[in-house]
Structure 1
Amino acid sequence: MPFSLTRYLPILDWGRSYNRITLAKDLIAAVIVTIMLIPQSLAYALLAGLPPEAGLYASIAPILLYAVFGTSKALAVGPVAVVSLMTAAALGNIVEQGTMGYAAAALSLAALSGLILLAMGIFRLGFVANFLSHPVISGFITASGLIIAASQIKHILGVDAQGHTLVALVASLIEHLPETNGKTAIIGITATVVLLGIRNGLKPALIGLGLGKTLADIATKAGPVFVVVLTTLAVWLFGLHDQGVRIVGDVPQSLPPLTMPALAPDLLRQLLLPAFLISIIGFVESISVAQTLAAKKRQRIDPDQELIGLGAANIGASLTGGFPVTGGFSRSVVNFDAGAETPAAGAFTAIGLAIAAVALTPLIYFLPQATLAATIIVAVLSLVDFSILRRSWAYSKADFSAVLATILVTLGIGVEAGVSAGVGLSILLHLYKSSRPHIAEVGLVPGTEHFRNILRHKVKTDPSVLALRVDESLFFANARFLEDRIQTRVAGDAKIKHVILQCTAINEIDLSALESLEAINTRLREMGVLLHLSEVKGPVMDRLQRSRFLDHLSGQVFLTQFEAAQTASSLS
């Protein structure tokens, strides 16, 4: 089989070694994940502003396609909280929720996201995601978690609050608070408390009672299903739906339908930026989870092929009544812990969800929306991590500023603005730091041939020699900073006769930086000072030799900093 084919179809690789033992492990993992995904998929569809069945549909075809094209053995693809919120925010500004146009726009958003991811994978553009720094991502996810939790309080209370920012949501909730439905609130609050108890304390409690670890784990994962069953029975038995408790209602009893995204040019233009942001955020979340789980088994993840896998999954969602999807943290961890050995576990999960879509949907007619809201709130609480503010403040004030700004923009303006601010701040911080490279004045460590920062070590220096170590490549953004640093230092000390640039950390010098070096050389010569270079790396020297800079260099190029300093001192 040609290597190029297995490169784009990883299933041809792991599928050859598939056996009955692997099959058994994958089936067990699929059963556990399916149990967890049924209420979760319904809940995330609610969060995205779509009918509950859309959550099931978005969890079937995408998983099957990822199993064919993806490289992670444990990643579980489907609706996730942050992407669902971004979907609701993007569509809410364009079409009215609850309409056919809204559902069609969700399909278009998934299709655009899929095409963007697919193109990035084919052209190996996975590095684009690196423009979002980890602290900024953490800040955005924390803020999104708060917005998601706040957006579900209306379902917990049974009121009609609106808004896509925390400020708008809180104001709307306060305004509609007198309309709270008491029975809905009891169901919602009770479900939230029970789910939190299950999440945080059920497993240790069951193990303490003598239940085996595996059974305790399965019971914990199935806990949300029990809450769904109990609250659904309560609504049915006591007729609470006739007393104002909002329920899921009729859910089509069918497999995912074949659908066609809306292709109106104006709609696609409005969805293009949200689709790009959803693609980037979804990819970052997915690849982080996939690489973390793969590292535990010393497996390899191909980021570019992951883009193709996620792209295919989103295109599949757009053609089968879904909405944008990505690899989810909680479901992937459950899949991994349950013993999934190959992506086939995901395919079996899709089959389980398909059976649920066909056979079990009548059973959720009386499922209260408050229970689904409680499921979302408990799921996203793990996303909220304010410790990133404390850690970034202690480590880097610049990173702290970026994290805080991302959180505030996301909470105050919205998720799209928050992502855009995060990307912009990450790039600006990188450019700012790069434009001000660390430049150390160095001296000789006594008894050695090593040179170190004069501010950090006891070193020997020669008043006539200024030795500078530039700790970054030189390019257009920072070349002028080096010019100014040398000019200021030499102009203030008439004893200096030699300047040595130690180029140990310089991996590249672009044309703008070369022109700056030429300007530095000319100015120093006019001041009676010689410019020397030391420890220039081979590729950098190759490029310098293709220019005329070395022909006009007032000093010399030395193999070592020690040789350069000794020669300069002897010439003074």
Structure 2
Amino acid sequence: MLKRYLPIVTWLPHYQRSLFAYDLIAGLIVMVMVIPQSLAYALLAGLPAVVGLYASILPLLFYAVFGSSRTLAVGPVAILALMTAAALSGIAAPGSAEYIEAALVLALLSGIMLSVMGLLRLGFFANFLSHPVISGFLTASGLLIAASQMAHLLGIDSSGFTLPALIGSLIPHLSEINLPTVAISVATLAFLILLRRHGAALLAKVGMPSKPATLITRAGPVYAVALTTLACWGFDLPTLGVAVVGEIPSGLPPLTLPVFDASLWRQLWVPALLISVVGFVESVSMGQMLAAKRRERISPDQELIGLGASNLAAAFTGGMPVTGGLSRTVINFDAGARTPIAGVVAALGITLITLFFTPLIAFLPIATLAAVITVSILTLVDIDALRHTWRYSRSDFAALLATLALTLLEGVEIGILAGVALSIALFLYRTSRPHSALVGRVPGTEHFRNLARHKVESDARLALLRIDESLYFANARYLEDTLYDLIATRPGIDHVVLICSAVNLIDASALESLKAINSRLKDSRVTLHLAEVKGPVMDRLQYSDLIESLTGRVFLSTYSAWKELTQHERSQTTG
């Protein structure tokens, strides 16, 4: 039980000094990268910049104890920041004391929900979001976040959490564009984009190994922050209207107690649930992908507990909702992190920065942070997914497009709820009309294939019907209709064999349908047989009276049914 709920006891006793060098380097690199990101995402959430630093300290330490991934880096991320801002915008003014208190409650509720889901082993819950729906949601969120940063890039005011609202609030203020801010924005965007696209190649040309070149290139936001902060301080750009982060309080994260206001909790429980689900899906997807590269594994249920503990830590130390971040996790992995000690190193480094170096950030332009967010978040906009999904499945594309459109037009909460609903609806629609095929014997073999696709042997008095789906309440009636239509269109049939090789479940509704089919076919003087029923399904059928009342037999294979029934028909014809 201890190893199950505290993964740290599985690796810490075996930790070797040789691993610390890797973890130390990775932790320091992540620390440098996390600082501008954390500041930017806190501002995106409508919170003071220092909240991002607070949310990057204790949550990392708690994840090291409770998380199952060796390389996942936890902290504020863009999507959760946007969802936080959307959830709190109707409760209080951004940056106010009430707003900060609500953010703590949001982190607390998210932590509680994630932890409870982990204890109840509800990691499968993420499966309710299909990949096209996730892709549509992430693409729309990326566009929304980029649109929300346009005001900071131009040095004007805007508000809103939908695309029409953001654009509508920008237009009246276009005459107020601040040119020095635009200059900083354009220079930072160009620098980050060019460095991302060509930096590693240029460093490789001068003889630098590919891995260090890649890491140096990915540290682009750090260079941008340093250069623009120096420029802003040296040229006294705030006097020209350039917005800066301002004074950030030094010191350790404060111990905070989220308010226990029943009405506030009722307002925030749905946003907290959505934040929990989205954060978990993003985190576990990244964790599983990187773990597979090292032939490791993570536990989705334990990840729920790890992320829950991290959010609880954020709630009690002045933070905001957190999850595993895409860019910082990739950097942590590429930098050679071997264990969560790398996260501990990063947390300790951020603590030192918060204690002693926050005055250096006072002249950091908000436009620089907006550019950092814009460049990093546009990686979520996956145009290829739109094209590939359109070619492969029009129904999946419809779900993707609907999720994307609703997220852009109605907001992230409506978008993710619609995505879950569409995923479930698509599943029910597809499985409610299962593919079925009349099959025949491939001459000279024991194999059976679709009559409509292959040249096979068939018997006019025998129908071999293969059902390619589990049988449950949503498709039980469809199965009845399929069999009744078959009998009506082929009056010469004496035997129907229902091939169950693809049936993994028969629920109570489907069982009643099978009983009705058996009775109806009996009245029509047609014998119903089953073939290739899987062991677990057969075990459940033993608890019913279907097998006893079945007019035919249960055959081990389709070939045995074919052989016996065709021979039986020939013997009766001969007789």
Whether the 8 Å CA contact 1:532–1:554 is kept in 2: the answer is: yes
Residue of structure 2 equivalent to 1:426: 423
Cα RMSD, aligned residues only:
1.2
2:292 corresponds to 1:333: no
2:243 corresponds to 1:246: yes
The 5-angstrom pairing of residues 308-387 of structure 1 reads 308-387=305-384
Whether the 8 Å CA contact 1:184–1:245 is kept in 2: the answer is: yes
| Residue aligned with 2:493, SS | coil
2:9 corresponds to 1:12: yes
Q: Which moved more, 1:461-470 or 1:90-99?
A: 90-99
| Residue aligned with 2:320, SS | coil
For the residues of structure 2 that align with 1:337 and 1:407, how far apart are their CA atoms?
Answer: 31
Whether the 8 Å CA contact 1:480–1:516 is kept in 2: the answer is: yes
The 5-angstrom pairing of residues 458-497 of structure 1 reads 458-497=455-494
Residue of structure 2 equivalent to 1:297: 294
CA deviation vs aligned residue, 1:227-276 (integer Å, no higher than 9, x gap): 11211122122221011111111100111111111221111111101111
2:131 corresponds to 1:124: no
List, as ranges, runs of 4+ consecutive aligned residues in structure 1 with deviation greater than 6 Å.
Answer: none
Residue of structure 2 equivalent to 1:506: 503
Q: What amino acid is the match of 2:371? A: A
| Residue aligned with 1:362, SS | helix
| Residue aligned with 2:498, SS | strand
Match 1:221 to one of 212, 218, 224: 218
2:102 corresponds to 1:136: no
Match 1:44 to one of 41, 45, 68: 41
For the residues of structure 1 that align with 2:361 and 2:415, how far apart are their CA atoms?
Answer: 36
**Mind listing any 5+ residue stretches in structure 1 that lack a counterpart?**
none
Residue of structure 2 equivalent to 1:566: 563
Q: What amino acid is the match of 2:368? A: T
| Residue aligned with 2:297, SS | coil
Match 2:268 to one of 267, 271, 287: 271
Q: What amino acid is the match of 2:411? A: G
**CA deviation after TM superposition for structure 1 residue 214, in Å:** 4.8
2:287 corresponds to 1:285: no
Q: What amino acid is the match of 1:235? A: C
CA deviation vs aligned residue, 1:9-65 (integer Å, no higher than 9, x gap): 111121111122111111111111111111111011111111100010000010010
Q: Which moved more, 1:215-224 or 1:237-246?
A: 215-224
Residue of structure 2 equivalent to 1:168: 165
Q: What amino acid is the match of 1:496? A: I
Q: Which moved more, 1:101-110 or 1:531-540?
A: 531-540
Residue of structure 2 equivalent to 1:206: 203
For the residues of structure 1 that align with 2:216 and 2:490, how far apart are their CA atoms?
Answer: 75
Q: Which moved more, 1:168-177 or 1:58-67?
A: 168-177
For the residues of structure 2 that align with 1:9 and 1:535, how far apart are their CA atoms?
Answer: 44
Residue of structure 1 equivalent to 2:188: 191
Whether the 8 Å CA contact 1:29–1:338 is kept in 2: the answer is: yes
Q: Which moved more, 1:230-239 or 1:48-57?
A: 230-239
**CA deviation after TM superposition for structure 1 residue 75, in Å:** 0.4
Q: What amino acid is the match of 2:543? A: R
**CA deviation after TM superposition for structure 1 residue 421, in Å:** 0.5
2:88 corresponds to 1:99: no
Q: What amino acid is the match of 1:196? A: I
The 5-angstrom pairing of residues 227-238 of structure 1 reads 227-238=224-235
| Residue aligned with 1:210, SS | coil
**Mind listing any 5+ residue stretches in structure 2 that lack a counterpart?**
570-575
Whether the 8 Å CA contact 1:83–1:324 is kept in 2: the answer is: yes
Whether the 8 Å CA contact 1:32–1:221 is kept in 2: the answer is: no
For the residues of structure 1 that align with 2:390 and 2:216, how far apart are their CA atoms?
Answer: 40
Whether the 8 Å CA contact 1:76–1:346 is kept in 2: the answer is: yes
Q: Which moved more, 1:378-387 or 1:206-215?
A: 206-215
CA deviation vs aligned residue, 1:421-444 (integer Å, no higher than 9, x gap): 000000111111111111111111
TM-score of the pair, normalised by structure 2? 0.97
How many equivalent residue pairs?
569
Q: What amino acid is the match of 2:305? A: I
Whether the 8 Å CA contact 1:467–1:501 is kept in 2: the answer is: yes
| Residue aligned with 1:382, SS | helix
**CA deviation after TM superposition for structure 1 residue 445, in Å:** 0.6
For the residues of structure 2 that align with 1:219 and 1:397, how far apart are their CA atoms?
Answer: 42
For the residues of structure 1 that align with 2:211 and 2:430, how far apart are their CA atoms?
Answer: 50
Whether the 8 Å CA contact 1:162–1:168 is kept in 2: the answer is: yes
2:18 corresponds to 1:21: yes
Q: What amino acid is the match of 1:439? A: S
Match 1:548 to one of 540, 545, 549: 545
2:404 corresponds to 1:407: yes
Residue of structure 2 equivalent to 1:539: 536
2:67 corresponds to 1:73: no
Residue of structure 1 equivalent to 2:59: 62
Q: What amino acid is the match of 1:276? A: L
CA deviation vs aligned residue, 1:398-423 (integer Å, no higher than 9, x gap): 11111010000001100000100000
For the residues of structure 2 that align with 1:498 and 1:8, how far apart are their CA atoms?
Answer: 55
For the residues of structure 1 that align with 2:17 and 2:536, how far apart are their CA atoms?
Answer: 53
Whether the 8 Å CA contact 2:472–2:509 is kept in 1: the answer is: yes
Whether the 8 Å CA contact 2:215–2:331 is kept in 1: the answer is: no
| Residue aligned with 1:501, SS | strand
